[in-house]
Chain A
Amino acid sequence: MAGASHRRSSRRSSAEMWGLGYNAALVAIGAGLLGAGAGITGSFLVLRKRALVSDAIAHATLPGIALAFLVMVALGGEGRNLAGLLTGSALSAWFGLLCVGWLTHATRLSEDAAIGAVLSVFFGFGILLLTVIQSLNMGRQAGLETFLLGSTAGMLYSDALTIAIGGGLATLAALVLRRPMLTAAFDPGYAVATGLDIRRVDLAMMGLVMAITVIGIKIVGLVLIVAMVILPPVTARFWTDRADRVVLIAGVMGGLTGLVGALISALAPNLPTGPIIVLTGSLAFAISLLIAPRRGALAALLARHRYQRHVHLRQGLLALALNHPVHERYTLRLLIHAGLANPDGTATDEGRAAAARALLDESRWQVLRADPAQEIAASHYDGLRPIETVLTPDQIAQIDARLAPRPLP
């Protein structure tokens, strides 16, 4: 005993060197590890398009927690033994998963409906059990409800160790299984054809998420743990087009989210840790959503704007080529700005040349589109794409031969 308390005090002093309390340091490390594990295992779930399964898993842990408590008290033990409670939660989450699987297989329910059914039934039953436990007044039951929204106040060194080991094992297993899981997610038909047992791959994938969920409910709570599983991968997806990098970025992002969220909540001790972590993750998601290149909202907006300008310019040039007046003010402004038209709407020299090119391109396209044998090449027509990007110079020469000689304006 004396040795243990000595070890603890030396740990305490090293944590305090960070300028954090011992508990806060433990929570920050635990949350960071949990976040990394949740991000990595969650990536596979999200890529498989079954993110919501994690919600069913999380809610299905509650009856297991309550029942484990009752069993442990009935056996005369300490009802709040964490290992016991987590075992119970894992068993009932697994049972919930089996229910979702059975409902989708044996009935015509779609998976989302099955998830909804399982989630609400298990959660409802769990809440009922919690209420019963409270009314039984068995002593020391206070704290069971912290599994709902998470609590870090009484976090022990052993809790952090549980998270580190459990999260590490789940992450390791996810990395070992990454190839079958990604193949199943991208192309399930092909996966089966290569001999993969896709149901077992899916079960393994959900088992990993379940492990992370069970480990994490102590910190974040079962209502919010879903966010730690889903947010990092969907955030990561904004930044890369490669599955392995989605997993990597989600791991880093999840770890940072957990760490930063826990540190923020340590600075404001009255704020609950779980929600702060989730909000931190949401902030990373929102920023990525806005500013990510190509997939971000801003990039999409700019691309649309660019496209619109392209369309207006093209239509303006065609109008100039045919000596039609340019009615739209935006089009005219673009033409003038590009030095293709004068303020009075007439074409500049440069504008006339560009207009002639646009008209030639358009006429070539019309020939191509009128030819039923060229259906596929013609399908590239969008009013903007230069025909040179679709046809070879030889093919264009053939089309030009068929172009009716156009009278000069």
Chain B
Amino acid sequence: MTLGLAARDGRIVAPDDTTAAPLAVRGLTVTYGEKPALFALEATFDAGVMSAIIGPNGAGKSTLLKAVLGMVTPVSGNIRAFGRPVSEVLSRIAYVPQRATVDWDFPTRVIDVVLMGMARELGLLRPIRQDHRDRAVACLSRVGMEHFADRQIGQLSGGQQQRVFLARALAQGAELYLLDEPFAGVDAATEKTIVAVLKSLRDAGATVVVVHHDLATVASYFERALLINTTRIAEGPVADVLTSETLQATYGGRLAQAQLAQILG
């Protein structure tokens, strides 16, 4: 690493303070057209921790994940995963996209979707063998979907589809899991299953980062939270981060006092 200094939050800091955290974002700015979706965002996600990214609609939550994965090109900023550029460690990162981004009439079965998670290992030509299928079914059974392996993906309910997506991420065997609103529009049983699986991943040492929209469940699901609205409002343990000041700063007047009281207990 070359010697040098970088500015952050108006302070001068050493450029190597990003460490080897599973995910570290420094000074990230992403714009769509002229309007910044993210501005000078700072965030660090530590190993073995389950974190939520929280913020109102249009705060840049999904954009942050997209920028991390190279789906949008940032105007400026530095993103490192495990201390290296993300493109070098993509095999260690599993992504669960928003359900709405997929064509549900696509002719594919549940098991084919899960096998997609093994793309790197299968390569272009290696045939799919029985042990691949067995592993795919094992991933499905972790999310309670093993009996749906042969269904066309569009025949499933929203919650079931989301669980299949999670199974695909499991099949990849990653160390960092990025999930974009996995609980949006799913039933309570699915939410419970997904949370349980994520917690078991965390307990096994994986890092889990979830774009989350339900403030009421943040405290029970996650250890840390990142509050953003275009830029970082607060970051840290959930209990420290979710205060009425930070929530007001994040959501402005959009959060009623009654809601606030409920979230803060």
Which A residues lie at the B interface, using CB under 8 A?
47, 49, 176-177, 179-180, 182-183, 185-190, 192-195, 237, 240-243, 245-246, 376-377
Give the Cβ gap from B159 to chain A, nearest Cβ, in Å. 8
B109 and A242: CB pair below 8 A?
yes
Q: Which residue from A176, A183, A376 sits with its C-beta under 8 Å from B119?
A: A183
Which residue of chain B lies nearest to A189 when distances are taken between CB atoms in the complex?
A: B97
A189-B101, A376-B188 are known; give 17 further A-B pairs, CB within 8 A.
Answer: A179-B124, A183-B116, A183-B119, A186-B113, A187-B116, A189-B71, A190-B95, A190-B168, A193-B97, A194-B90, A194-B95, A194-B120, A242-B107, A243-B107, A243-B108, A246-B107, A376-B187
B70 and A192: CB pair below 8 A?
yes
In the assembled complex, B216 has its CB within 8 A of some CB on chain A: no
In the assembled complex, B102 has its CB within 8 A of some CB on chain A: yes
Give the Cβ gap from A48 to chain B, nearest Cβ, in Å. 10
Which B residues lie at the A interface, using CB under 8 A?
66, 69-71, 87, 90-91, 93, 95, 97, 101-103, 106-109, 112-113, 116, 119-120, 122, 124-125, 152, 168, 172, 178, 187-188
B91 and A195: CB pair below 8 A?
yes
List, sorted by A's number, 28 A–B pairs whose CB atoms are closer than 8 Å. A49-B103, A177-B124, A180-B119, A180-B124, A182-B108, A186-B102, A186-B103, A186-B106, A186-B113, A187-B102, A189-B66, A189-B71, A189-B95, A190-B95, A190-B97, A192-B69, A193-B70, A193-B90, A193-B178, A194-B90, A194-B119, A195-B87, A195-B120, A241-B108, A241-B109, A246-B107, A376-B188, A377-B187
A193 and B107: CB pair below 8 A?
no
Q: Which residue from B101, B107, B120 sits with its C-beta under 8 Å from A187?
A: B101
Interface residue SS majority, chain B? mixed
Complex contacts, B107 vs chain A, CB 8 Å:
47, 237, 240-243, 245-246
Give the Cβ gap from A168 to chain B, nearest Cβ, in Å. 17
A377 to B159, CA, bound (A): 12
A47 to B107, CA, bound (A): 8
Which residue of chain B lies nearest to A188 when distances are taken between CB atoms in the complex?
A: B101
Complex contacts, A195 vs chain B, CB 8 Å:
87, 90-91, 120
Give the Cβ gap from A178 to chain B, nearest Cβ, in Å. 8
A246 to B107, CA, bound (A): 8
B124 and A176: CB pair below 8 A?
yes
A32 to B133, CA, bound (A): 35
Complex contacts, A188 vs chain B, CB 8 Å:
101
Which residue of chain B lies nearest to A379 when distances are taken between CB atoms in the complex?
A: B187
Most buried by A among B107, B122, B124: B107
Complex contacts, B152 vs chain A, CB 8 Å:
241
A187 to B125, CA, bound (A): 20
Complex contacts, B125 vs chain A, CB 8 Å:
176
Which residue of chain B lies nearest to A196 when distances are taken between CB atoms in the complex?
A: B119
